[in-house]
Structure 1
Amino acid sequence: MILKPLDENLRAFFLNVMSEKENVYKSYDKIAEWFASNRPGQLIEKPYIDRLQLLLPNQATILDLGCGNGKPIMGYLLQSGFQVVGVDASEKMLDLAKQNFPAETFLLQDMRELQIGNKFDAIIAWHSFFHLPAIDQPKMIEIFANYLVPGGMLLFTSGSERGEAWGLNGGENLFHASLDSDEYRLLLQNHQFEIINHTVNDAACGNATVWLAQFNPQ
């Protein structure tokens, strides 16, 4: 059997799909203005953010990974008196964040290649971590641990079971991936996290699956 080379258009399509899968921030660059206008303004995440805040010292430092345009989560944390550093790989989203909060620190970085010179009291990766391919997610747990002080808190969202999915936003397909709950639990435990809360498909929070864990190195 002789295999024919892929048609150039088909090849370009597959390459584009792989790029969108591995680098979702490129899609966010295309829809930044649309996303800022259409993301619900109400803080449905508030119960989880409030619980996190109760576990932190006054004026704690927080790393918001995948901060987007900074609204509403980063804005709420700043209003609560916390010091927040925003990180996003989407240049367009970060431009909007800088307009919204010109006095704050923002870094254009891919969380998988994070380079920051200090550690934080908490890390939030809300609806950002789950855009990474499953193969990249285990390494991120180690990165989370590397950038937390002892006793630091980690808040992130995931899927509820292992798999991949695509969601249409602003005309762009956004990739999502998840491990299963037992895999996350084992990864967290292996990196010395104690799981404080794990809520699956919270209907009051857009069906988010939420993890809250504390870094307790021995």
Structure 2
Amino acid sequence: MDPKKLAQSYDQIADHWNGEEFNSDNGLPQHRRALQFVRNPGLALDIGCGSSGRFIDLLLGEGFTVEGLDLSSRMIDLSRKRHPEVTFHHADITKWKIPQLYDFITAWDSIWHMPLTAHESTLRKILQALKPGGIFIYTAGGLDTPGEKYDSNMGPEVYYSVLGVPKNLAIFTEEDCVCRHLEYDQYPELHLYFIVQKK
């Protein structure tokens, strides 16, 4: 999987998340559930922030100082126009050096696009970027074993990878984190999200 090609794919469809056909409530109930575990609404990071700004709006409303990150330059351009007061990073999360610790990190429908070979190390890096008590919410394919695939449901071909549920849970323990919630929220589709807390 070439990150440049992924970025180009998302550049082509960046406006989708701002159109009438997009469900702007997508992921918000799950994020509200995750926010119930927050001890301190300090710093937050939205990985794969996209262009809709819905999670950034939610986090700003909860009193967080928010940063966004995306691989797509078009997504970043649209996000900066929507939220000029927010710091955005145009970067590849697998290579980006996370600059500080965060109280809340979200990666909704985003990090499953990174190469399978980089998946575990990047997940560990994100978990290590949580402050004690910090919360991480993210989506994963609900498989039991590692896997990868390409999909063209959105138009351009897009790559996906998963570590599998058991491996995710093992990494949480090894990184001194606890799984607070795990849900197949679109069952029978294998769309899964985790809420994880740093001890």
| Pairwise TM-score range, normalised by the shorter structure | 0.7 to 0.9
Task: Calculate the TM-score normalised by the size of structure 2.
Answer: 0.88
Contact 2:150 2:159 in 1 (8 A): yes
What CA deviation, in whole Å up to 9, does each residue of 1:21-78 have, x standing for no partner?
Answer: x852231122223443366243132222112212224532111111011432222222
Structure 1 residues without counterparts, runs of 5 or longer:
1-17
- Which aligned segments of 4 or more residues in structure 1 are displaced greater than 6 angstroms? none
Q: Tell whether 2:140 aligns with 1:158.
A: yes
Residue in 1 aligned with 2:155?
171
- Taking the aligned partners of 2:94 and 2:126, their CA distance within structure 1 comes to 10
Q: Which of 25, 29, 41 pairs up with 1:43?
A: 25
Contact 1:34 1:170 in 2 (8 A): no
Structure 2 residues without counterparts, runs of 5 or longer:
none
What CA deviation, in whole Å up to 9, does each residue of 1:139-176 have, x standing for no partner?
Answer: 01221123111111111100011322333255311111
Task: Calculate the TM-score normalised by the size of structure 1.
Answer: 0.81
Count of matched residue pairs: 197
1:186 is paired with a residue of what secondary structure? helix
The residue identity in structure 1 corresponding to 2:27 is E
Q: Tell whether 2:2 aligns with 1:19.
A: yes
- Taking the aligned partners of 2:133 and 2:21, their CA distance within structure 1 comes to 32
The residue identity in structure 2 corresponding to 1:215 is K
The residue identity in structure 1 corresponding to 2:195 is L
- Taking the aligned partners of 1:170 and 1:47, their CA distance within structure 2 comes to 23
Aligned alpha-carbon RMSD (Å) = 2.3
Contact 1:141 1:191 in 2 (8 A): no
Residue in 2 aligned with 1:213?
196
Residue in 2 aligned with 1:186?
170
Residue in 2 aligned with 1:135?
117
- Taking the aligned partners of 1:118 and 1:180, their CA distance within structure 2 comes to 28
